Amino acid sequence: MQCQKKKRDGNQCRARARSGQEYCALHAEPGKAAELGSKGGRRRAVYRPEITADNVLHELAKLAFFDPRKLFNPDGSPRHIAELDDDTAMALAGFEVIEQFEGSGDNRKHVGYLKKFKIADKGQNLERLGRILGMFIERYMTDLPHDWDSHTIEEKRFYVKKGHWPEPDDE
């Protein structure tokens, strides 16, 4: 998220706060609520969550392993957006609701809604997870050992970093 106001004093966040818009939390300390200025002299606290590799990995996993059946009731009808749990709502990349009518003019009658859900790309998120976990190691090294494929991902990472297989006391 970036502040949208032009920076006057070299700090986009302060520029945004001066304009009365919600303060950008990019400069708050991780894991703490920061007291930030706003229009009218009132101050408000904004919480900036601590972002860690584990958090990112966990959120990617939620997207990659999302079950689209959670978008529907047992009878097959789509759930109302307010009924979705947090993980299901997070997996929505977008949605659209269109009112449908029959007839025209004074004879126009509302017959229902067309609801379209766009969910996060499962393949893309699985690929991201695979890259993070080292499942797709590029083999540009010309001198890979003959037993490369028999080792675990952790051992391969160790080999790429150190140039030799781990000894029992290296792990």
Note whether 78 and 111 are same-domain residues.
Answer: yes
Sign of the Cα torsion 26, 28, 34, 40 reads negative
Cα(125)–Cα(148) distance, integer angstroms: 27
Neighbours of 12 (CB within 10 A): 18
Q: How many domains does the chain have?
A: 3
Q: Is residue 85 part of a domain?
A: yes
pLDDT at 5: 40
pLDDT at 29: 47
Say whether pLDDT at 149 is over 60. Answer: yes
Residue 103, both tokens: 């007839």
Q: Is residue 131 part of a domain?
A: no
Note whether 95 and 147 are same-domain residues.
Answer: no
Note whether 86 and 104 are same-domain residues.
Answer: yes
Identity of the highest mean pLDDT range in 7-16, 33-42, 51-60, 103-112: 103-112
Note whether 121 and 149 are same-domain residues.
Answer: no
Q: Which domain holds residue 153?
A: 137-171
Identify the CA nearest to 60 among candidates 132, 157, 118: 132
